Structure 1
Amino acid sequence: MLNMTMTSRSSRRRGARLERGISLVELMVGLTVGLMVTAGAISLFASNVSQSRRVVANARVEQDLRNIADLITRDLRRAGYWGNAINGTLAVGAAAAAASNPYASVAPASSPTDGQIVYSFSRGAEDDAKSDAETFGFRRNADDGTVEMQTSNGTWKKLNDPNYTTITSLSLNDASPDTIPLGYRCPTNCSPGSAGCPEVKVRRYDLVLTGRSVLDSTVVRTLRTSVRLRNDEMSGKCPA
């Protein structure tokens, strides 16, 4: 009988303890741990979103720079093309002079703030005169951060979307090697360095483009490439 009474009292004490629930300290500890886990999850999510945004911004800037550079390279290589180039090497008659290439000039950007390249090439109408439709170029528009292409004299088309990429600099620097003397090919020898002695310039330019992402201003990329013109620049003539 005594054992049954003690067992009954012990059971009531255990039941009383179970009915009390968790203490305030236990509740605060649980909330703290839960908040720490939640904060860690939010921080990880925010970090992943930020990293993804940066990757997308970086890819967009690099793609825009590459597209612009490829277009400039392909078009600029045609600078100086002249269908009647033979007229620049021959002169018929004792008093005649060889004609000058009307498309020879390439005016590169002198600084990133200028950001303009102007050149020309023949489009088939071989009248030995450069027309407005044969004037081309590229320039940086400082107002909206775009690069524009001149499809004919005075007509410009944008090449990038300023809502995603801002072009901060566009420069083209002359990196041509030394001219090559051709006087030894003349019927009458012309010593290298002599005034008016014929020579050829192999034209090469260094193109530098820098762009910044509108989505993430910390993403700034610079692309450098070299452009070799297909048409070399001739100057001088053989002595009579």
Structure 2
Amino acid sequence: MTFHKQAGITLVDLLLSMLLGIVVLSGVISIYVAVVKSSSDTLKSSKLNTQLMTIMSVMSNDIRRAGYWNDFISEPQTNPFSQLDDTALEVINSPASNTGYADNTDVNGECIVYAYDENENGVVDADSEYFGFRLLDGVVQMRASGTVTDGDNCNNGVWMDLSDSDLYTITRLTFNPKNSACVDSSEPNGIDDDGANGIDDAGEADCYSLVPAVGSGEITVETRDIEVSLAGVLKSDNSVSMQITQSVRIRNDLIRVR
């Protein structure tokens, strides 16, 4: 009878195999963790982006309606929804100081207020047709109602939260009217209104630069364009942040007789 010596693995071979397995397993785990983290970050970023885009859509669609009047065609200069210091659209620096800015000033306000004919009955209904948005303590708020004759006050009326303070903090909400424009319909009138050089300059048509005198009867048309900027950060992960900016053109021009 012939006996054959059986060959086996040595302790060194076993240790090397285990080491190789651990290296491969570590690589697989590292890749899995990286994929999970990347997916988690993507989901968080997508969630915040969706929330901010929704808020921006609500604000821009509503702000565009500022000054809408069901009877606007007849005498636009008498529009009850475009009365200065009451229903007319105004950008305000903050709810705290409540100071309004000129329509074409390159400044950022944290509040905007306005009114429009929501039920299309042609008159300003007490309390229910004053609207606006503001940033207060990291939350975007929307004005649900306001008080007649005090509509331009950023603390006026009833405000409700539009953003979810449990999920994210709004770090920036600004309204900038820098792209607005004002045209004096009486220009060119052949008169050197600014008294600069005896010539009726084209620039005199800009009624922001050269405001017509009160009682002159001149008609001005203001087109309002508001740059809205919104930014936020997730409360569960402050490394996830997002900022979006949108230009909102007001559909209803502000027409005034000076």
Same fold (TM over 0.5): yes
Structure 2 distance, partners of 1:22, 1:99, is 95
Instruction: Please say if 1:180 is aligned against 2:187.
Output: no
Query: In structure 2, what is the Cα distance between the partners aligned to 1:148 and 1:99?
Result: 25
The CA deviation at 1:109 is 4.7
CA contact (8 A) 1:109 1:173 kept: no
From 60, 64, 71, the counterpart of 1:73 = 60
Kindly, what percent of the aligned residue pairs are identical?
27
Deviates more, 1:41-50 or 1:194-203: 194-203
Residue identity opposite 1:73 in structure 2: S
CA apart distance, 1:190: 11
Q: Deviations along 1:27-49, whole A, 9 cap, x unmatched? A: 22122111111111111111111
Counterpart in the other structure of 1:42: 29
How many residues are aligned here? 212
Paired position in structure 2 for 1:150: 143
Alpha-carbon separation, structure 1, partners of 2:238 and 2:77:
53
Q: Which runs of 5+ in 2 are unaligned?
A: 95-106, 147-156, 194-203, 205-209
**TM-score scaled to structure 1, two decimals?**
0.74
Q: Is contact 2:112–2:132 with CA below 8 Å preserved after alignment?
A: yes
CA contact (8 A) 1:109 1:171 kept: no
Q: Is residue 220 of structure 1 aligned with residue 241 of structure 2?
A: yes
Greater Rg over alpha carbons, structure: 1
The structure whose residues are more often helix, as a share, is 1
- Report what 1:23 is aligned to: 10
The Cα of 1:162 is off from its aligned counterpart by 3.1
Assess if the C-alpha contact under 8 Å between 1:76 and 1:227 holds in 2: yes
Out of 110, 131, 143, the position equivalent to 2:93 is: 110
RMSD over aligned Cα, in angstroms? 3.3
Q: Which moved more, 1:46-55 or 1:21-30?
A: 21-30
> Distance in 2 between the 1:138 and 1:178 partners?
22
* Contact 1:146/1:160 (<8 A) preserved: yes
User: CA offset at residue 131 of structure 1?
Assistant: 2.7
Whichever residue aligns with residue 149 of structure 1, its letter is M
